[in-house]
Structure 1
Amino acid sequence: MHDLRTILAATDLSALARHAVARASLIAAESGARLSLQHVVNVGAFDALRHLLDADSKNLEQKLLDEVRGEVQTLAGEIGQRHGVSPDVHLVVGSVQREIGSHADAIDADLLVLGARGAGFVRELLVGSTTERVLRTSRRPLLVVKQMAHETYRRVLLPVDFSARSVEALTLAQAVAPQAEYVLLHAFEVPFEGKLRYAGVEESELASLRVHAKRDATAKMNELVAASGVDEHRVRRLVIHGEATMQILAQEQEQDCDLIVIGKRGVGLVEELLLGSVTKHVLAQSATDVLVIDGSAA
């Protein structure tokens, strides 16, 4: 099993970001990982404030930084009391995305934890939020938190394509949610099924192709479970015919999952250049937390 040694939780001190910090604390407490709590004062806003202030206003700038530092340290103290975790506190003025990436590299974080954007997350994904920018640029696993963290994760949904990335996802899921049940989902479609139907292929022949595809996927699913070393009694296997995004969102609800673990990119050239379309839709439309892995080595 992959061990979590260091977790970085970045917060802007909003309510949604506090949910992310609470989740990071739960994971750190369960895994024994070191937790680093980071707040970045946006350099653009800080420079704008300096422009409005007099040249002799350095004291006010320092007071503002001290106020922010006090809030972050108060949050760290609350974490300690509630979860028994004593996080490192890192406060810096700079570019939010750049500073998160730099600090993650400096501490060699095994997991980044950030909050989503609530009801505005779809819009934020389209215009480019901090979370999405970090998702696009970071090679480290990123947990996007949407829910209040009441307890450790109970049931994890893992869409799999049987690549090395799928093994990596299941291994990481065991580190982040070691007590959970794992629901492995493979959504498949017969290649060119629509065109075959349009070309006059009989429905019985298409059904036969689906049976063969499902049998092949089931065998690969069993191989994946064996390769991961996970306790088979804690794994559900689902091989379902249908479009991936629709099936992931449907099974999230049907299986009552509280975390989805998914790869960042698809298998096509465009998908490799951009945040994968399936991943983007799952991030935007799912109700649960989403752990995104890069899988670059896959």
Structure 2
Amino acid sequence: MNPLRTLLAATDLSALARHAVMRAALIAAESGGQLSLQHVVSVGALDALRHLLDAGTAGMQQQLLEEVRGEVQALAAEVAAHHGVAAAVRVDVGAVLAEIASHADAIDADLLVLGARGAGFMRELLIGSTTERALRKISRPLLVVKQMAHESYRRMLVPVDFSARSLDALRVAQRVAPAAEIVLLHAFEVPFEGKLRFAGVDEQALSALRVNARREAGAQMNELVEQAALDPARVRRIVLHGEASTQILEQEQAQDCDLIVIGKRGQGVFEEMLLGSVTRHVLARSAADVLVADRRAG
């Protein structure tokens, strides 16, 4: 397992984005990776400012950019003081997502770190415009930070479906939080269970199907632990009957997890358009940070 080499923390200088920067710095300090801090000034906002400015105040735009750079540099100084990490500073003007993606590609970032945004009803609908668009467009592991980074991640919840994505997600997770205890969760539902019940299949027969599904999942989970070369002493294995997103959020609390690791992609074109219904629901509802794994770990 290769350690993280480069991390990109994109910040809009908000409080939640600051949490993300400090988490990125903590991970960089632990992994020895290089950290880059990026702030993108929206070209649309600058155009609107130009429209409002008088001809004699054209220098205000440059002053604004210098003040923004000063804020990012101050944040980098704080990172160095708290975590001993010398972060590179970059301020760009342009389309926010395009500039973040371009810089991530330029430094070949192993991890992109963003703050979660929004609350309540709007948070359910839209995690935060930049965060959600990044999740849709950028094919890199992405850490969505919701909490202050007081310490290294202690325990991570990793929902698995035993596909190749599950193994990939575990490998990414181990690079981001190598010391964390791992809780593997598989939530299952018997295929066509509702239709079988409607068709008159009795509860005893359905229970037998659930027992078989649980037994098979347990064997697959053991194989996954072996494939991922996990230390069995650091792994909890949980197999539960029920809808995936509900079980994930319940186990996040029950197992006291501070990180959830989940795949980005759902099944089929419609799920892809929706970002993946389970992933979207967990991002909106969880209290823990969420690592969205979207490519094979190096």
Q: Same fold (TM over 0.5)?
A: yes
Q: Which amino acid aligns with 1:150?
A: H
SS in 2 for 1:35: strand
Alignment of 1:1-298 (within 5 A): 1-120=1-120, 122-123=122-123, 125-126=125-126, 129-295=129-295
> How far did residue 55 of structure 1 move?
2.9
CA deviation string 1:142-191 (max 9, x = no partner): 10001111001000000000011111111111111111100000000000
> How far did residue 111 of structure 1 move?
0.5
- TM-score, normalization by structure 2: 0.96
Q: Which amino acid aligns with 2:188?
A: F
> Bigger shift: 274-283 or 50-59?
50-59
Q: Residues 43 and 128 (structure 1 numbering): CA distance in 2 closer, same or farther, change over 3 Å?
A: same
> How far did residue 19 of structure 1 move?
0.3
SS in 1 for 2:37: strand
Answer whether contact 2:8 2:113 (CA < 8 A) is retained: yes
Answer whether contact 1:136 1:274 (CA < 8 A) is retained: no
CA deviation string 1:243-277 (max 9, x = no partner): 00100000000000000000011223311333000
Q: Which amino acid aligns with 1:152?
A: S
CA RMSD of aligned residues (A): 1.6
> How far did residue 124 of structure 1 move?
6.9
SS in 1 for 2:54: coil
What is the CA–CA distance in structure 1 between the aligned matches of 2:187 and 2:19, rounded to whole Å? 31
SS in 2 for 1:153: coil
> Bigger shift: 125-134 or 76-85?
125-134
> Bigger shift: 50-59 or 75-84?
50-59
- TM-score, normalization by structure 1: 0.96
- Structure 1 portions without partners, runs of 5+: none
Paired residues, number = 297
SS in 2 for 1:109: coil
> How far did residue 119 of structure 1 move?
2.0
What is the CA–CA distance in structure 2 between the aligned matches of 1:237 and 1:138, rounded to whole Å? 31
Answer whether contact 1:115 1:131 (CA < 8 A) is retained: yes
- Structure 2 portions without partners, runs of 5+: none
Q: Residues 179 and 139 (structure 1 numbering): CA distance in 2 closer, same or farther, change over 3 Å?
A: same
